[in-house]
Structure 1
Amino acid sequence: MRRRPGLAGIAAALVLTAGALGAAPDEAVAAPPTASYELIWADEFNTTAVDASEWNYRTDTKGWSQQRPENVTVGGGAMTVHLCPRNKAGAGCTQQVDSKDLYTGGGLISKRKTRYGYYETRVRTNSGSGWHSAFWAAEAGSGTEPRTEIDGFEIDSHVPDKVRHNVIAWTQGTFTSNIYGLDFDSSADWHTYGFEWLEDSVKFYVDGVLKWSQPYAPSAYTHNFLNTWLTAIAYDASNSPGVDESALPGKVQFDYVRHYARDVYADNDAPSGYSETGTGWSTSGLPAFGRLTGRFSCDTDSAGRWTFTPPADGTYQGYFFRAGGEGGQADAPVSVWDGGTALSRTRVDLTAPGSSWAPLGAHTLKAGTTYIVRIDRDGPGCIRADAVKFVRS
């Protein structure tokens, strides 16, 4: 078994889970694509109930099913979505409910909103046709405005040996691997599915093997912050023949979900740690990183600041997203702080048109420590605040 620093507890949890739920696949594949990633959030589902501080339930009606909270349980080392006949719900589908004569499914939606990194889950899908299981990321309740959706996997249960991955730039285009064959039946055993969202691309993995990669530049597509979804619904996809009622009750099980990070980004869009002091702050019309929003102020003594915590000890190259144009301050000071100690100070020219990452130099940073980046207006012109990043060497 390959182990990474800080993952001893997860390794132990995997052993317990394997014992509770059957033989596990080779755990060597259940890890990020590079050793530089650090685990920053996970739910191993080793409790007896859904963690309400981390998750919301999926409760919509879509396709052939109504999604219900009582169809989601945690126990035995896994999160289970119970797949039920019409107007039945709950563990074992024993509850009589009014589901409008629909089948019932369900799922969980993370309360956390995250962006870049490596995401992974381990799943055993159901037997019997008619169900669409998925591990995906999209901002909950965001409508149809420009935004990102990443489908780590979509599996339709009448073809359990096939899978699809997608990157959807809503209102801008859809990129898909198209449905392709696996060398296993996803309902017969546990398998891992992961996606790596980088600044310029998204890569998809099955059992640790890279299966598909899609360029996805932040200058071309909206890179917003996403909720993570683990779901199973009755749905007509991939020419489904309909729900096999003889296979109900059914279940889809998720062993865990994990998010790893290597670099750290801070943005002025929620949920990043960003704040402003002084007056005159307004939304900028200049292109912003990830096609989100930028801010500016032309008032004396105004300042924008970002807080961030690196995922691991190490040397990081810092960058400030420079949105330039007429009226900007020619030598705006951007400084990096550890508490009350200034680690660096860089003058950035905000007068030149265009946008780019301006280097802030190398910094030795520690995991668990909160650092600050700030830009101050201390001369003629306007300062602009958008995003910063620190890339680990």
Structure 2
Amino acid sequence: MFKKGIAFITAVALVTSGIVFTPSNADAAVNSNQGSNSWKLVWSDEFNQTVGQAPDTSVWNYDIGHGSNGWGNNELQRYTDSTNNVYIADLSSDSGSSDGRALAIKAQKEGSEYTSGRIQTQNKQYCKFGRIETKLRVENGSQSGVWPAFWMLGQNYNASGNNWNGAYGASPWPSCGEIDIMEHRNAETQVIGTLHWNPSTTNYEHVYAGSETTNSFGAIDTIENWHTYAIEWYEDCMKWYVDGICYQTMNISSEQMDEFQRDHFIILNLALGSNSSPFTLNQTVSANFTNATMYVDYVRVFQGNDASFSIKNKKEGIAQPETTTNRFSSMTSINNDGNMHNIGQWNYLFAGSWTGTSGYYKGGTDLNDLEVYIGSNNNASEEWGAQLKTNALSLNAGKTYNYSISIESDKAGAEVLLKNDTDGIELQRKTLTNGKNIFAGTITSEKGNAELIFALGKVAAGTTLKVTDFTISDSSGEITTKAPETTKVSETTTKIAETTTASGNKPEKPFGLVVNCPSDNTISVVWGNVVGNLYNIYIDGVKVKETVGCAEYRFEGYSVGSHTVEVCTIKGGIESDKISGTVNVTGKDEITTKAPETTKVSETTT
């Protein structure tokens, strides 16, 4: 929640998917190699206190007021300890509630101001390692500017502290460490998980990594429905979950990330962004905003028996919750890195970085059996933001075939394009109806095979598509192409650096270069990270950084006008092909172009 206006990406992030949390009775330590199967519930607040009253003050503290600079984020709301904003709510008529009661944090307009609530457990309940989980929904939450969060700060946090070495004494942010388990903004159909820390022990530095740097978001249908959000926190890595599905894993074993080897306390709040709040993309509440309410069914902590686990107030003999299943437990999280991934007879591409698409899939080893859930889609005007593509189908060159493919959709209205990608020929456009949609026609392959591709980028978030009845036949009606016998290709969603390219003599080139001018006479450079790679940076043909890790770098002192930025991978003294971008620098005309020392720009927070 301390965010994020000019923060920096310098983390090695490993992204995995498809992991379901299922408690069992086997012993497990705190390293991710042992897993979480033995972890048991050791503490919870089920928020089943008296309706209309405050939550348990032996556990929860209140943060009050506007904070400095709108809690460091130019937020609108004033936090209070009033039961108008924070109270136990009666949800006996809500079938999704576990026991008919929940914590309510209500953001509302009161006269000319906005009020809300933020509660936290500093000095009262804190822990190190384990699974920290909540179940919540936000009524009226899909509004511009609405920003619910479930997160943690280091127990040693002190806003007035001056000890940048977080291992000793009271430490300011981010030396204390911050774990964002779940944040949501505006009307998006995805949630965000992030870590913040300070790699320096002597001065302020802010580094963050997570969903917005890895393009790994947790897919939801809407924040207004119940979902569970959790982390599994090991000594070597952090894993983020939505509804039991792991959507992101981050390595935290670096000595520069020792914040995450210490106790953290829990925070729940509902903020309102302003038109100067970067996290809400500078979106604020509308003029007719009246209220939004975050209902929290519970907060739970699960841990194992290893001595490395710690928690302030462990509850002995606590009843274990029943394990529940969800609609995605049998599906696999989609890797939305913008690359094509093979899953057998089908391939998919989801471009999280430029359309925000994400989701889950099941099947794919057979042309007649593929189910895809579109979890999020932030740019439904870009039809190629999500794609399904067959492997090459063997046809006779020049011969005409009949094709028929059924796509069952549970939502109507999206236009879907079918194309023969091999020959670049558009076959059909169809607006989906609720139910089965038959794509049928003729296809003539000039090259002797065909890769059929569906452009799904216009399909709305929350839509499930099922592909069945896939046939290609000749004029006699004989099926000439069907799902052949294949071995399922195992997909890895952790991107590891390749030693060379296919040519065998150059490293893999970088991807995702973004350059801009964040302030006068300054160039900002950031790109997508590949685990294990180092990079060189050039500006206008001059090497300005050599063998550096992935980060956002800022270069000051550049003249007004257009400049070319290039980044390449460097391995064994060999450079990859460069990716390049241009930036139009603004500022003072009298500045002379040079290759300056790079600096990380600190983020001012409170």
TM-score range, shorter chain: 0.5 to 0.7
**TM-superposition CA deviations, 1:133-189 (whole Å, max 9, x none):** 111010353423622211001101x23312111011133521111166655333331
Corresponding residue number in structure 2 for 1:248 = 290
Corresponding residue number in structure 2 for 1:135 = 150
Matched, 1:120 2:133: yes
Corresponding residue number in structure 2 for 1:51 = 56
1:163 and 1:181 in contact (8 A); partners too: yes
1:104 and 1:233 in contact (8 A); partners too: no
Q: State the one-letter code of the partner of 1:118.
A: R
Q: State the one-letter code of the partner of 1:56.
A: N
CA–CA separation in structure 2 for the residues paired with 1:252 and 1:145: 26
Corresponding residue number in structure 2 for 1:79 = 103
Matched, 1:69 2:81: yes
Matched, 1:164 2:192: yes
CA–CA separation in structure 1 for the residues paired with 2:178 and 2:57: 24
Deviation at 1:57, TM superposition (A): 1.3
3-state SS of 2:133 partner: strand
Identify if the C-alpha distance between structure 1 residues 215 and 182 changes in structure 2 by more than 3 Å, giving closer, same or farther: closer
**TM-superposition CA deviations, 1:280-337 (whole Å, max 9, x none):** xxxxxxxxxxxxxxxxxxxxxxxxxxxx99999xxxxxxxxxxxxxxxxxxxxxxxxx
CA–CA separation in structure 2 for the residues paired with 1:147 and 1:224: 9
Identify if the C-alpha distance between structure 1 residues 60 and 271 changes in structure 2 by more than 3 Å, giving closer, same or farther: farther
Structure with bigger gyration radius? 2
Deviation at 1:231, TM superposition (A): 0.8
Deviation at 1:75, TM superposition (A): 2.7
> What count of residue pairs does the alignment treat as equivalent?
235
1:136 and 1:149 in contact (8 A); partners too: yes
3-state SS of 1:221 partner: helix
1:55 and 1:108 in contact (8 A); partners too: yes
1:129 and 1:240 in contact (8 A); partners too: no
1:162 and 1:180 in contact (8 A); partners too: no
CA–CA separation in structure 1 for the residues paired with 2:294 and 2:41: 25
1:65 and 1:233 in contact (8 A); partners too: yes
Matched, 1:39 2:41: yes
CA–CA separation in structure 2 for the residues paired with 1:262 and 1:218: 23
Kindly indicate which of the two structures has a greater share of residues assigned to strand.
1
CA–CA separation in structure 1 for the residues paired with 2:218 and 2:194: 16
**TM-superposition CA deviations, 1:29-65 (whole Å, max 9, x none):** xxxx843111111001111231010110122422111
Identify if the C-alpha distance between structure 1 residues 265 and 181 changes in structure 2 by more than 3 Å, giving closer, same or farther: closer
1:37 and 1:262 in contact (8 A); partners too: yes
Percent identity over the alignment is 24
2:153 and 2:266 in contact (8 A); partners too: yes
Q: State the one-letter code of the partner of 1:213.
A: T
CA–CA separation in structure 2 for the residues paired with 1:72 and 1:310: 29
Unaligned runs of 5+ in 1: 7-32, 89-95, 274-307, 313-393
Identify if the C-alpha distance between structure 1 residues 39 and 144 changes in structure 2 by more than 3 Å, giving closer, same or farther: same
Identify if the C-alpha distance between structure 1 residues 252 and 64 changes in structure 2 by more than 3 Å, giving closer, same or farther: same
CA–CA separation in structure 2 for the residues paired with 1:183 and 1:309: 33
1:264 and 1:311 in contact (8 A); partners too: no
3-state SS of 2:127 partner: coil
Question: Given the alignment, which residue of 206, 231, 256 partners 2:269?
Answer: 231
Question: Given the alignment, which residue of 170, 178, 193 partners 1:149?
Answer: 178
CA–CA separation in structure 2 for the residues paired with 1:168 and 1:265: 26
1:262 and 1:311 in contact (8 A); partners too: no
Identify if the C-alpha distance between structure 1 residues 224 and 102 changes in structure 2 by more than 3 Å, giving closer, same or farther: farther
Q: 5 Å matches for 1:1-393?
A: 34-48=36-50, 49=53, 50-61=55-66, 62=70, 63-70=75-82, 71-76=85-90, 77-85=101-109, 88=110, 101-110=112-121, 111-125=124-138, 126-139=141-154, 140-141=157-158, 142-144=171-173, 146-156=175-185, 158-170=186-198, 171=205, 173-178=207-212, 183-217=219-253, 219-222=255-258, 223-235=261-273, 236=277, 237-265=279-307
- For normalisation by structure 1, the TM-score amounts to 0.54
CA–CA separation in structure 1 for the residues paired with 2:64 and 2:216: 30
